[in-house]
Amino acid sequence: MQRSTHDDVRLLLEHQAPGGAYVASPSFSQYPFCWLRDGAFIAHALERAGERASAARFHAWVARAVKGRESDVRELIARGAAGDTVDHERMLPTRFTLDGSSEVDGGWPDFQLDGYGQWLWSLGQHSRGGALAEDVRGAAALVADYLEAFWDEPCYDAWEEGRTQHHTSTLASVAAGLRAAGVFLEPGYAVTGDAVWRFVRERCMSDGHFVKAVRNPAVDASLVWLATPLGLVDDADSPFARTLARVEEELLTRDGLLRYRADTFYGGGAWVLLTAGLAWHHARAGRVERARELLGLAERHRTADGNLPEQVPTEGTDAWFLDYWTRRWGPTASPLLWSHAMVVLAQLEIAEAACRGRHSTPTS
């Protein structure tokens, strides 16, 4: 069941809070919050769809939430610079309540840097459409300073796992965010971003391809983000091309793309947002038919009312873990706004790539 881009955009707009936050899922018991990771992608999707005002409200909301914690962040940065022990429990939170006034309690992992790098990257894309407000620039500078100070601290990854590791997609998100800040704030941030990216090229590769984390040779679907959307490599980069081939060989099922092979969350199903993200990448690389196939695979999992879930079971799903998480939290989140955002991005990229193909000049 396929819906129009307009329908998905409307759903995203309907679930933006009055203050600007995007709820992760309006109906799932564990996701009535805003993750900067999800929000950065959602804001970018709406920006691409012509809803710049919605993206601006999100960025202003993030700025308020971050600036409200400025004194704590500056103290943490100062302690780190002095070589003192830094309490990771006081780091900027991974998720916020929708009013931005408080972080979420309840035992969730909370020291996670990728969302802050992704926010700076998304804000950099937004800044191309016009000057940023001073309060947003101030918050962005605070976040950039925070990432400069702590990028090499092991932290939870994009999936809120692996607290003691250096994760490739996290480091890449930080590198891309600091490079973006080097454009719309000051060039010095890009210098650090380049250093983070060198660390990735030196420490996060094995056998000629990128890996899930330092000294972890597995592949993770989030490695696609190195090219799309973060733009740290292009599709022709040899290590990335090998990485993409491994991702598709090991993680792509007939139901969609897995996060990583050892995943047990809801049995380790296929994630709609990752399948759509892979379609987005192939469209950017000019492989329009492949992108359409993958988008169709993601679209196949719409519910009768047009919602897209977080993930769906596959033939390889672990039934025990699927039952465990379903008993604990209920069925998987649906709708998941991040899934809808990635489908929008794939839809728009496919349309643009197809248009480019129709208007390209043949070569002799």
Q: Which of 289, 287, 251 is nearest to 271 (CA)?
A: 251
Structure tokens at 1: 């069941």
CA-to-CA separations, 103 to 33, 106, 153, 300, 342, in angstroms, rounded: 9, 10, 21, 35, 25
**Of how many residues is the chain composed?**
364
Alpha-carbon torsion angle 195, 199, 201, 204, nearest 10: -150
> Looking at 157, 220, 299, 349, which residue is catalytic?
157
Cβ-based neighbours of 305, under 8 Å, separated by 6 or more: none
CA-to-CA separations, 263 to 107, 169, 260, 328, 347, in angstroms, rounded: 20, 16, 6, 17, 28
| Residue position matching structure tokens 């993030």 | 62
Asked about 148 being catalytic, the answer comes back as no
**Which residue spans within 121-230 are E strands per DSSP?**
205-206, 209-210
Q: Are 125 and 57 in contact (CB under 8 A)?
A: no
Strand-pairing partners, residue 312, are 270
> Looking at 38, 47, 51, 310, which residue is catalytic?
310
CA-to-CA separations, 229 to 56, 169, 170, 346, in angstroms, rounded: 19, 12, 13, 11
Please tell me the distance from the alpha carbon of residue 102 to that of residue 228, in angstroms, as a whole number.
Answer: 32
Please tell me the distance from the alpha carbon of residue 27 to that of residue 339, in angstroms, as a whole number.
Answer: 14
Residue 251: count other Cβ atoms within 10 Å of its Cβ. Answer: 24
Asked about 160 being catalytic, the answer comes back as yes
> Looking at 160, 161, 194, 318, which residue is catalytic?
160
| Residue position matching structure tokens 């890449």 | 172
Asked about 310 being catalytic, the answer comes back as yes
Three-class SS state of 257? strand
Structure tokens at 191: 């210098």
Structure tokens at 233: 């490599």
Q: Which residues are catalytic?
A: 157, 160, 310
